Structure 1
């Protein structure tokens, strides 16, 4: 049996005339499970921005992202190649579905959103920082493009959102207010969920401020779920999956090592040629860390000199490295990919059928204390806002059985036309969202191009659909769920979708995937996000 943990730390007691106990999972102050955090240097971009000297200067807005790296196509930005460190942007090319307006007469009745936190500081100091310091202490002198390292110091914080991260969530709240504001009933409050990590609370609060305004607490109760090992939490599913915690379920290490040795080979030689004296020796892992410093420093300070040190092709390689990593550690290439995201799927189905979660196989991938009560797991909301992490969201997409994001990624060459591009799926402040749409008749699988023609099959009756979006672009559900049909709008009939997900839950093989005694499979040997059932 899977061990079942529940919330275990004491309630906060507010002393007043009647002494009222308030559960800890309703507290939004930073408590014992907020994780370590530290604020970094305050930016001063007006004084430190070297881009001002460029003849083709483009004003920052607020970040300097117009970096003229060698080989960059016109109009492109390296910040589209930062993987999960990319600032938020809508998916550039979409996921293969045509985008249509809502047919006249149809109504969006409900939305379900899972939102990633915004741009943040690193969760820990990159290993290359100590290596650069040791180079300098041993007498190394940097020249050429690396000369700034002679006086560079590491000044990033840890775990907290940057100002850009706060902006991303605030802007997202405003965007979704414009898109779905009328779904909210002012006469009833919402319960929204986040986790105890500081960046998660900050993100949820910034989003709510954008959606509802400064008095958002009058509209929303923020349920803060413990995000730590030993506590069940569907928004932090890796914490309760033993083989995810141990790393046993991560298959990508060999593949990412092979890929970094490939795409950073020339860059390593280039760095070595600009490093004189001492015994300095750069590795591809060092340079991969340095590429991440470009993303982190830009988000924190507005500009980073690290960004100019790599070519366009090397930034494309950096992106692909994340794609391999997420595929092998949290996607269809991981034996725990489905298991990490399973709790959300169980909860999502429960909300759709308006029944508290009760998985038939006995696996517990969510918090039974909170999900066992309508007061903390409501079933009657028109809007559901959940906040989670990039790895968890990618695993949720895996657990939903969206195989179109689970194609094998070669570790020797970039797979073109792939759907699972991490910066397109889980950038900072990325999200997926399901609209539940009620139509008076079945909507035609092929929408008429002539707007004067009806989009409905008027011989049928009222029908309810699911419409999924990732970062403002439609996901064609029929690509992974054949019974949804080959619809050009990507929708799926609700009952068809529910039936698929109810059957899909068992594919996670939760107990064996999370608690089974197995060696880490070779990269590419797992193709369905779980240990196969015996």
Structure 2
């Protein structure tokens, strides 16, 4: 309520208060007597008037203190457990894999269908927002140093760079990224509370610190929600066990595969595709940057690195406040950047790369085992020792949570065939996710990305002996399943869904990894 409204309300209360009726003064009363009586009335009510005015002043001060504190000092976060990052979405939702997670538009409702109940839920999550990798942080720091050394006059919107200090770290979660993962755990609990209030999920994590930290923060968010759930009666054995699988070329790890030699040592098809698109969209940006930063002599690749200072400085802010770097580029330029990153992931680690889907085969076969309750059958990247032990790979659970990286998730999506409806991406013409059957880097693998795999039963379902349905959501978008007779809600029967995963069940192209 605005202060003016408050004043009007107070006036209304005063006007509407009890009225006092006085007898008319006799006509023969002297002027002095009138003044005396007026002074007597004023003296009698002076204290009440002062008290009323004092209350109004105190309330006014309290109002302005409240407004200043909550609108100026305590700025709300741009991220929430319900819908992810929602500040300046025309910009922030176009940062490719560097976008913070946000709830992606879905043509099919993401809500559990009426009359249905989820009986199984698996989340596969990327780690939360982080600092740049070590290699990138060196590049960014050198770029800023070069600008400071060579530029003497800055264009008006760029003047803040004169005093900008590069302070980003390397590889680890930011405070914002930690909160993302807490929010993700909260969201998972709220969505699957009927399962979660009496059972903790089985949790695995790839071995890098930022991934393990993400798993721990997610588990805390889950635990926090369970502790607040009045319907949860079972003991909560928190902190939950997290099985950490080491990363590296010497390890079988379905959450971070490095075993496919031909892929690891082969050509970087993602960068090759990006190079073509870079020559299309970047020159105009590079020209403008050099006009406003005379002497910097930036290249097209420098321009891309310059743009990346926007998302990284944004997620370095605890509340996700957008960096001034973000507003140096137009909405259309950010969409071009998003497409640049989408090309890199599609051809580098997704369906556009002949060997990338094979890297995801091991996880898909583990998923099949969890969905069916049958032992893992795989001869690719799975760890037979871990997957053969019910302590390290239990079956029959209702909740599972795995934590990984964007590149590995891209390969898993490809092995699952989630984007089989997406045509090969053009390297010369931009296409948004609504034109690519829902594929883009920002829609599929942003910071804290999450895939939910659900099994559900539905009341009154007599078809195919009431066999459970399977449904997949990526960042809250229902992905219509392919090659298994999906219904209008994007779901397939469990047996048909497993049959449709023949690429993974047959081992992908694992034999080509070692040619």
Give the corresponding residue for 1:484.
485
Name the CA distance, whole Å, in 1 between partners of 2:313 and 2:172.
13
Name the CA distance, whole Å, in 1 between partners of 2:129 and 2:507.
33
Structure 1 residue 473: Cα displacement: 2.2
Number of residue pairs aligned between Structure 1 and Structure 2:
421
Distance 1:440 1:276, change over 3 A: closer
Give the corresponding residue for 1:398.
414
Give the corresponding residue for 1:367.
383
Structure 1 residue 404: Cα displacement: 3.4
Matched, 1:153 2:165: yes
Give the corresponding residue for 2:188.
176
Give the corresponding residue for 2:255.
235
Name the CA distance, whole Å, in 1 between partners of 2:503 and 2:260.
21
Q: Check whether the contact 2:118–2:456 (CA below 8 A) recurs between aligned residues.
A: yes
User: What does residue range 329-344 of structure 1 map to in structure 2 within 5 Å?
Assistant: 329-344=348-363
Matched, 1:422 2:441: yes
Matched, 1:167 2:166: no
| 2:360 match: secondary structure | helix
Q: Check whether the contact 1:250–1:334 (CA below 8 A) recurs between aligned residues.
A: no
Structure 1 residue 231: Cα displacement: 1.0
Unpaired stretches in structure 1, ≥5 consecutive residues: 1-56, 65-73, 443-457, 517-534
Structure 1 residue 413: Cα displacement: 1.2
* Match for residue 343 of structure 2 among 324, 334, 343: 324
Give the corresponding residue for 2:15.
none
Matched, 1:201 2:208: no
Name the CA distance, whole Å, in 2 between partners of 1:226 and 1:484.
38
Distance 1:142 1:87, change over 3 A: same
Deviations 1:133-180 (A, max 9, x none): 134335654333333333322101111111211111111111111111
* Match for residue 81 of structure 1 among 65, 89, 94: 94
Give the corresponding residue for 1:119.
129
Name the CA distance, whole Å, in 2 between partners of 1:180 and 1:170.
16
Deviations 1:99-118 (A, max 9, x none): 564332x3321111101111
Name the CA distance, whole Å, in 1 between partners of 2:111 and 2:322.
38
Distance 1:375 1:502, change over 3 A: farther
Deviations 1:368-407 (A, max 9, x none): 2211211100012110111111111111110012243642
Matched, 1:515 2:509: no
Name the CA distance, whole Å, in 2 between partners of 1:290 and 1:249.
26
| 2:312 match: secondary structure | helix
Structure 1 residue 431: Cα displacement: 0.7
Q: Check whether the contact 1:401–1:504 (CA below 8 A) recurs between aligned residues.
A: no
| 1:218 match: secondary structure | coil
Unpaired stretches in structure 2, ≥5 consecutive residues: 1-71, 80-86, 228-234
Give the corresponding residue for 2:451.
432
Deviates more, 1:292-301 or 1:158-167: 158-167
Name the CA distance, whole Å, in 2 between partners of 1:266 and 1:120.
30
* Match for residue 222 of structure 1 among 220, 223, 242: 242
Deviates more, 1:381-390 or 1:176-185: 176-185
Name the CA distance, whole Å, in 1 between partners of 2:503 and 2:316.
44
Q: Structure 2 length as normaliser, TM-score?
A: 0.76
Give the corresponding residue for 1:311.
330
Distance 1:126 1:266, change over 3 A: farther
Deviations 1:281-312 (A, max 9, x none): 11111111111110000110334221121111
Deviates more, 1:340-349 or 1:414-423: 414-423
C-alpha RMSD of matched pairs (Å): 2.7
Name the CA distance, whole Å, in 2 between partners of 1:459 and 1:409.
38
Q: Check whether the contact 2:419–2:439 (CA below 8 A) recurs between aligned residues.
A: no
Q: Structure 1 length as normaliser, TM-score?
A: 0.73
| 1:194 match: secondary structure | strand
